[in-house]
């Protein structure tokens, strides 16, 4: 039996660059040539599959891929109304977007009842309509959804919005958000023991990369009498290290802060007597 772990990712599109970046930062070395749809890692028993986003949930559910990075919007759309063998493991924090209703700017929409809605997310939209007792018709279209109100195919659309530039370019206004989405790591629920071990390693490394994104290592000096006040100001730090300094009244505090450090926080630290405040990026964290 082939016990190489397979990780499916989008072959092109909004998730591709950050998915490959995350895999590489997790210490899985691979290289791709041209339009190759399969890349073999040269340092771990792992293969990367480059596939269409839409196919990822079924590939993982059927066990044709073991792990995958996919937009939660696609995962939800493809998993609604059916039994799947997929476990969501990590919210990865990138490719954030939302699924929203939108209409031509000059349309005054009071209710979605009796509307014709065009979308690439028919299951998600139908569930929303049912949950909210709205009676409307849903047409499935795979792309250029923004065009449909102008050719009489729809009254409103329901599509992904990130920056809002596509809606703006097509003279559409966002009316209501029905789903917030980001990239997620998913896993087949029935891996064999060998694959489960490799998957655990990958998951723990990816979690380490994700944890590190917002984390900072903070170093500062302060009067020993102020340590408690200063520690209260350090966001998401568990147990800072306190180091004596040559000036016996002073100490250095080193802390791993697992939340962003804004200028405001640094200014508050300074106001409480901290000096030489250094904030440094963290590359990986293994908890």
The verdict on 166 binding ligand PRP (CB under 6 A) reads yes
Q: Is 234 exposed, middle or buried (0-12, 13-18, 19+ CB in 10 A)?
A: buried
Of 39, 51, 65, 160, which one interacts with ligand PRP (CB under 6 A)?
160
- Judged by CB under 6 A, the number of residues near ligand PRP is 11
Kindly state whether residue 34 participates in binding ligand PRP, applying the rule CB under 6 A. no
- Within 10 angstroms of residue 74's Cβ, the number of other Cβ atoms is 24
H-helix or E-strand spanning residue 23: helix 16-25
* Integer angstrom CA distances of residue 249 from 97, 115, 191, 223, 270: 50, 72, 57, 6, 17
Q: What is the CA radius of gyration of the chain?
A: 24
C-beta closer to ligand PRP: residue 49 or 167:
167
Regarding 172 and contact with ligand PRP (CB under 6 A), the answer is no
Stretch that binds ligand PRP, among 82-90, 153-161, 174-182, 242-250 (CB under 6 A): 153-161
Residue number with CB closer to ligand PRP (150 or 262): 150
For ligand PRP, the binding residue among 27, 104, 122, 164 (CB under 6 A) is: 164
What is the Cα–Cα distance from 77 to 87, expressed in whole angstroms?
15
164 or 235: CB nearest ligand PRP: 164
Stretch that binds ligand PRP, among 160-168, 217-225, 245-253, 270-278 (CB under 6 A): 160-168
Q: Specify the residue, 14 or 250, whose C-beta has the smaller distance to ligand PRP.
A: 14
- Whole-number minimum distance, CB 164 to ligand PRP, in Å? 5
Name the residue with tokens 């730090």. Answer: 237
DSSP 89-125: EEE---S-EEEEEEEETT---S--TT-EEEES-HHHH
Residue in 99, 162, 167, 102 with CA at minimum distance from that of residue 128? 99
161 binds ligand PRP, rule: CB under 6 A: yes
- 191: tokens are 């891996």
Q: Give me the least distance between CB of 7 and ligand PRP, in Å please.
A: 21
Give 142 or 249: the residue with its C-beta nearer to ligand PRP. 142
**Which parts of 116-145 interact with ligand PRP (CB under 6 A)?**
143
Name the minimum Å distance from CB 168 to ligand PRP.
8
State how far the Cα of 287 lies from the Cα of 279, in Å rounded to an integer: 20
Piece of the chain touching ligand PRP by CB under 6 A; list 22-30, 161-169, 191-199, 269-277: 161-169
User: How many angstroms separate the Cα of 65 from the Cα of each of 46, 81, 126, 261?
Assistant: 11, 21, 28, 38
Which of 137, 140, 162, 241 binds ligand PRP (CB under 6 A)? It is 162
Q: Using the rule CB under 6 A, is 163 a contact of ligand PRP?
A: yes
Name which of 139 and 166 has its Cβ closer to ligand PRP. 166
Helices 193-214 and 16-25: angle between axes, nearest 10 degrees: 100
29 binds ligand PRP (CB under 6 A): no
Q: Which residues bind to ligand PRP, rule: CB under 6 A?
A: 13-14, 143, 159-166
């Amino acid at each position: 039996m082939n016990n190489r772990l397979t990780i499916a990712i989008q072959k092109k599109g909004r998730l591709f660059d950050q998915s490959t970046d995350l895999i590489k930062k997790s210490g899985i070395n691979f290289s791709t040539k041209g339009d190759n749809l399969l890349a073999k890692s040269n340092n771990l028993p792992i293969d990367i599959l480059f596939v269409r986003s839409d196919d990822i949930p079924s590939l993982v559910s059927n066990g044709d891929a073991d792990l995958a990075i996919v937009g939660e919007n696609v995962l939800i759309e493809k998993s609604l109304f059916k039994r799947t063998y997929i476990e969501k493991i990590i919210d990865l924090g990138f490719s954030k977007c939302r699924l929203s209703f939108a209409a031509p700017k000059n349309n005054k929409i009071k209710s979605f009842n009796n509307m014709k809605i065009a979308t690439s997310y028919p299951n998600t939209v139908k569930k929303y309509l049912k949950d909210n007792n709205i009676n409307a018709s849903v047409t499935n279209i795979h792309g250029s959804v923004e065009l449909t109100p102008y050719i009489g195919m729809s009254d409103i659309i329901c599509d992904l919005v990130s920056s809002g530039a596509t809606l703006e370019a097509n003279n559409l206004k966002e009316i209501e958000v029905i789903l917030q989405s980001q990239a997620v790591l998913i896993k087949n629920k029935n891996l064999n023991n060998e694959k489960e071990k490799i998957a655990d390693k990958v998951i723990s490394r990816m979690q380490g990369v994700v944890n590190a994104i917002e984390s900072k290592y903070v170093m500062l000096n302060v009067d020993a009498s102020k340590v408690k006040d200063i520690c209260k100001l350090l966001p998401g730090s568990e147990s800072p290290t306190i180091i004596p300094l040559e000036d016996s009244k002073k100490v250095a505090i080193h802390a791993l802060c697992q939340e962003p450090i804004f200028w405001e926080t640094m200014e508050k630290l300074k106001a409480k007597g901290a000096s030489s405040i250094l904030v440094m990026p963290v590359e990986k964290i293994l908890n």
